[in-house]
Amino acid sequence: MKRSISKGIVNSLGWLLLLATGLSYAAVTIASDDTKLKAAFIFNFTKYVTWPPEVEQSNAGLKICFLGADGIDEDLGRLSQRQVRSMNLSLIELKSTHEIDRCQLVYVMSPELAKGVINLAEKKAILTIGDGEEFADRGGVIALVREGDRIRFDINLTRAKQSRLQISSKLLQLGRKVL
């Protein structure tokens, strides 16, 4: 009797371990899908945002920067081979918030770094994109917001105008919330 109880416990623990392993694999898959989806959003935003003429007409291209965004570099890296309105896209991983002057678009995933990016980007032609509803509320231009199993976005149009960015009415219509 004692032996069958022990065997039952071992079997139960084995199933729990297998289930936990499967769940962690599923979590990794979901996280991977999230980064691919966010990279697609970021690329598509570049199609519907117009930067001031000095940016659009420069030969430097459009620099997409990311900060505190672990795991998205590979998915964003695929964008560096593309063009938007004849501007070549290039990808830069920033080490510090103080490097954002090199960028026309900054994606920041970390809430701890978001405030610094928002403050430094004020009145500069930089499209700031971050995670969470509060990003747009605090002055970021576009916030990626999770709604159930979907990712939506909020747009801070006031901040976009202060940054001399024009956002297409098509993108504004797709936004979850426009501030």
pTM strictly above 0.85: no
* Choices 3.40.1350, 2.60.40, 2.160.20, 3.40.50: CATH for 34-178: 3.40.50
Each domain of the chain, given as residue ranges in start order, spans 34-178
Q: Above 50 in pLDDT, residue 122?
A: yes
- Taking 3-state DSSP, the helix, strand and coil percentages for the chain, each rounded to the nearest 5, stand at 55, 25, 25
What proportion of the chain, given as a percentage, has pLDDT over 90?
Answer: 54
Query: Is the separation of the CB atoms in 71 and 35 below 8 Å?
Result: yes
The reported pLDDT for the residue numbered 57 is: 85
The fraction of the chain above a pLDDT of 70, given in percent, is 75
Q: Which two tokens stand for residue 122?
A: 């004020």
> Is residue 155 over pLDDT 90?
yes
- The whole-number pLDDT of residue 150 equals 92
At residue 33 the predicted structure's pLDDT band, cuts being 50, 70 and 90, is confident
Which pLDDT band holds residue 31 (cuts at 50, 70, 90)?
A: very low
Of 53-67, 100-114, 143-157, least confident by mean pLDDT is 53-67
Q: Following CA atoms 80, 85, 87, 88 in sequence, which dihedral angle do they give, to the nearest 10 degrees? A: 20
- Least confident range from 24-33, 67-76, 115-124: namely 24-33
**Range 57-83 average pLDDT:** 76
Which run of H or E residues covers position 169? Answer: helix 169-174
According to the model, what pLDDT value does residue 80 have? 65
The answer on pLDDT for 29 being more than 60 is no
76 vs 106 pLDDT, higher one: 106
